[in-house]
C-alpha cells in the first residue's frame, strides 16, 4: 500500500530537493569551471548572456542584461566592475541617449568565453544532465517553463 504525503510535506520536500540540487550542481560546476578556465560561474554566466544577447549588436544595455539574468541590479553592477577590471568586458555610456551604460565584450572576454564553454558544458553534463533520463530532462524543462511563463 502506498502512503500519500500531506501536501505541505510534499511541498517542503520538493523545495528542499530543489535547493540541495541547485547548491550541489552550482558548486560542482563552479569548481570545474574555475579549474579549467579560471572563470567564476558568475563570470561565465555574464559572458554567456552577453554573447547570447549580442546577436550582431555591438553592445548590450545594462538594464536588458539585468532583466535577462534575473539578478539584482547591484549584484550585476558589482560583477561587471570585477570583470571590467580584469578586461573581460567594458562599459561605456549609451550612444543613443547617454543615460545608461552599455556592456561590450572585449576580445579577452570573447576568448575566455570560448575557452570556458566546453568545460562548462562537460561539467553540466557530468553533474546534472548526464545523470537524468530523457523523461527527467523533459520534466525539468517543463517545470522551469511552468514557473517562468507566469511572469
Set out the domains of the chain in order of their start, with CATH numbers: 20-148 (1.10.10.10)
Helix (H) or strand (E) holding 37: helix 7-37
Q: What is the pLDDT of residue 99?
A: 74
Task: Give the number of other Cβ atoms within 10 Å of residue 125's Cβ.
Answer: 11
Degrees (nearest 5) of the Cα angle 26, 14, 131? 50
pLDDT in tens, 18-54: 999 999 999 999 999 999 999 999 999 999 999 998 8
Average pLDDT over residues 60-75: 92
Q: What is the pLDDT of residue 57?
A: 65
Q: What is the pLDDT of residue 66?
A: 94
Sign of torsion, CA 93 94 100 105?
A: negative
User: Collapsing DSSP states into helix, strand and coil, what is residue 3?
Assistant: coil
**Residue whose entry in the numeric block shows the C-alpha cell 517553463:** 145
pTM of the model: 0.86
Amino acid at each position: 500500500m502506498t502512503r500519500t504525503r500531506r501536501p505541505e510535506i510534499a511541498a517542503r520536500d520538493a523545495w528542499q530537493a530543489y535547493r540541495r540540487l541547485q547548491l550541489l550542481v552550482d558548486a560542482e560546476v563552479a569548481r570545474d569551471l574555475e579549474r579549467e578556465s579560471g572563470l567564476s560561474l558568475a563570470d561565465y554566466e555574464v559572458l554567456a548572456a552577453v554573447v547570447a544577447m549580442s546577436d550582431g549588436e555591438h553592445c548590450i544595455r545594462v538594464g536588458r542584461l539585468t532583466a535577462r539574468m534575473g539578478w539584482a541590479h547591484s549584484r550585476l553592477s558589482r560583477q561587471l566592475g570585477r570583470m571590467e577590471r580584469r578586461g573581460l568586458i567594458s562599459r561605456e555610456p549609451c550612444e543613443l541617449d547617454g543615460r545608461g551604460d552599455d556592456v561590450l565584450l572585449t576580445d579577452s572576454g570573447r576568448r575566455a568565453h570560448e575557452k570556458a564553454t566546453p568545460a562548462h558544458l562537460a561539467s553540466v553534463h557530468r553533474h546534472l544532465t548526464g545523470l537524468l533520463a530523457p523523461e527527467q530532462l523533459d520534466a525539468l524543462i517543463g517545470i522551469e517553463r511552468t514557473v517562468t511563463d507566469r511572469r
